[in-house]
A and B are shown apart, each in its own frame.
Chain A
């Protein structure tokens, strides 16, 4: 047996089935939350705000909101996926199975990325119901969605292995991802900030994601599109390196 595609698929399917069992929490809840953002920020407040970078405010915030959901869902999903078997003790089965580390990662991260990707698309469709939304570069938009979903699912996987309890598991999405996304230009363009805070913002990786993703819709961005792509790739490589290190050392998986 050179590869174990069945084993990889077993993990993938198990994780997808878990989301299907809890679809109210996995699908309905993030869609409702995002719709609330559209209603409150887009329709209620947006009607009093001028256009931003030439885009109506209601449409301007859509890429950022999709990113917000994509990031939080990818991290939450992937981290819970690997944390729960560690918590229940069922991880013994994956560790003792003839699957390689790469296959384990593809199974868990692939499933989490698939779920958040589907969610991102549902939210995109929902957004169309609220605002007029042109997509200038649909393929680039999809590429960004996929790249972000994979990158942040990898990040979530790392969180799920690092976390020792449920509190630590929640800390990263709540205290890191959400603030970074809110401060990452989801609801505003960076040029409305004082110069100092513009510079500080450039240290926030989410800025590059939101900016690049928004460019694929409207061809407007805070940072050049290639810089956005480059930074996203860089973050993905960083996560891959960390995952590689985790399995090499058995960090919190094997003693």
Chain B
């Protein structure tokens, strides 16, 4: 299946000379939830803004459903919904008026039944006659989602959906993304919360200083996350791993004072049992032992700092 979004060699250098994006290449599959993970200032918002037509790129191309975002902007923009990061400042129109405005602005005929459904799904129907300035922070964010969904997009960008939102609202946002997944919309969200990417996304891309440094299936990332290490403090230091233990994935640490065994927690046989037995038979004694687990955060920090 052809990807719904293709980014090729995308560059962005601002007038100030700051290079926000460097040769970005990315494919997004239809119906997936993709999390773009990166620290502040990594280029997440710039990337989204270019795709949506708010910022001009300085090189490369982007296609949505096969259409070019510059040449065929009417086609691409009518397929995209954008939920911006910043909560916009207070406005005086009502919830109902603003979702209607969004829908018709994108060229869709009025459809009260559809908009009612969107507002009900996002728990905003009761507030339809309220002015925007009377809404709470969480409602405003949901309203931005409702506005973005009002023209029935096939791709939805959520830029930092939970930035500056309290725990309860974050939970609500996660439920909203789950609801979006059920509707079949392709969702691309940016975040700097790792747990959020972990919880919601099918695939995770890591961006840092304008470069995509990793794109991986979440399960594969989790597999890396699922690796554990058993560290044995040895009574007598070793100069090398004994040949008889070559079958195990072993390495030496602390100048031979510890033996490190890496294993998968998810596999049925961790091999710890037989390793300890074999160690005993080989006459290797240890004084202490502990296990460590690398978190997604560790992987992320490794990638970003490395």
Residues of chain A having any CB pair with chain B under 8 Å: 1-2, 4, 6-7, 9-11, 13-14, 17-18, 21, 87-90, 92-100, 250, 254-255
Evaluate whether A255 and B106 lie within 8 angstroms (CB atoms) in the complex, with A87-B89, A88-B89, A90-B88 already known. no
Report A177 CB to chain B, min CB distance, Å: 26
CB-CB < 8 A to B15: which residues of A?
Answer: 255
A-B Cβ contacts below 8 A, count: 81
CB-CB < 8 A to A7: which residues of B?
Answer: 104-107
Is B56 in contact with A250, judged by CB distance below 8 angstroms? yes
B209 lies within 8 A of chain A by Cβ: no
Report A103 CB to chain B, min CB distance, Å: 10
CB-CB < 8 A to B91: which residues of A?
Answer: 88, 90
CB-CB < 8 A to A96: which residues of B?
Answer: 52-54, 77, 80, 82
CB-CB < 8 A to B53: which residues of A?
Answer: 95-96
Interface of A is mostly: helix
B74 lies within 8 A of chain A by Cβ: yes
Report which of A9, A10, A88, A95 forms a contact with B54, defined as CB distance below 8 A.
A95
CB-CB < 8 A to A9: which residues of B?
Answer: 104
CB-CB < 8 A to A11: which residues of B?
Answer: 105
Evaluate whether A88 and B107 lie within 8 angstroms (CB atoms) in the complex, with A95-B53, A96-B54, A98-B73 already known. no
Report which of A17, A95, A98, A100 forms a contact with B78, defined as CB distance below 8 A.
A98
CB-CB < 8 A to A254: which residues of B?
Answer: 54-56
Is A17 in contact with B97, judged by CB distance below 8 angstroms? yes
Report A68 CB to chain B, min CB distance, Å: 28
Give A17 to B131 CA distance when docked, in angstroms.
14
Give A13 to B80 CA distance when docked, in angstroms.
23
Report B226 CB to chain A, min CB distance, Å: 40
Is B105 in contact with A89, judged by CB distance below 8 angstroms? no
Q: Which of A96, A97, A255: most chain B Cβ within 10 A?
A: A96
Is A93 in contact with B105, judged by CB distance below 8 angstroms? yes
Report which of B14, B75, B88 forms a contact with A255, defined as CB distance below 8 A.
B14
Report B78 CB to chain A, min CB distance, Å: 5
Report A95 CB to chain B, min CB distance, Å: 5
Residues of chain B having any CB pair with chain A under 8 Å: 14-15, 52-56, 73-75, 77-78, 80, 82, 84, 86, 88-93, 97, 101-102, 104-109, 147
Interface of B is mostly: loop
Report which of B84, B101, B107 forms a contact with A4, defined as CB distance below 8 A.
B107
Is A89 in contact with B84, judged by CB distance below 8 angstroms? yes
CB-CB < 8 A to B105: which residues of A?
Answer: 6-7, 10-11, 93-94, 97, 99
CB-CB < 8 A to B84: which residues of A?
Answer: 89, 92
Give A132 to B261 CA distance when docked, in angstroms.
103
Report which of A89, A92, A98, A250 forms a contact with B89, defined as CB distance below 8 A.
A89
CB-CB < 8 A to B89: which residues of A?
Answer: 87-89
Report which of B75, B77, B88 forms a contact with A97, defined as CB distance below 8 A.
B77
Give A167 to B151 CA distance when docked, in angstroms.
36
Is B82 in contact with A1, judged by CB distance below 8 angstroms? no
Is B102 in contact with A93, judged by CB distance below 8 angstroms? yes
Evaluate whether A255 and B77 lie within 8 angstroms (CB atoms) in the complex, with A9-B104, A89-B89 already known. no
* Interface pairs A-B: 8 shortest CB-CB: A10-B104, A98-B74, A98-B77, A89-B88, A96-B52, A88-B89, A10-B105, A4-B107
Is A14 in contact with B88, judged by CB distance below 8 angstroms? no
Chain B's closest residue to A99 (CB) is: B105
Is A98 in contact with B93, judged by CB distance below 8 angstroms? no
Is A6 in contact with B93, judged by CB distance below 8 angstroms? no
Chain B's closest residue to A11 (CB) is: B105
Is A93 in contact with B55, judged by CB distance below 8 angstroms? no
Give A98 to B72 CA distance when docked, in angstroms.
9
Chain A's closest residue to B92 (CB) is: A21
CB-CB < 8 A to A100: which residues of B?
Answer: 74
Chain A's closest residue to B53 (CB) is: A96
A18-B93, A255-B14 known; 15 new pairs, CB 8 Å cut-off, are A1-B107, A6-B104, A6-B105, A6-B107, A9-B104, A14-B93, A14-B101, A21-B93, A89-B84, A89-B89, A93-B105, A98-B73, A98-B75, A98-B106, A100-B74
Give A1 to B54 CA distance when docked, in angstroms.
20
Task: List 23 A-B residue pairs with CB atoms under 8 Å apart, sorted by A's residue number.
Answer: A1-B78, A2-B74, A4-B74, A4-B106, A7-B105, A11-B105, A14-B101, A17-B97, A89-B84, A89-B88, A90-B88, A92-B54, A92-B82, A92-B84, A93-B102, A95-B53, A95-B54, A97-B77, A98-B107, A99-B105, A250-B56, A254-B54, A255-B55
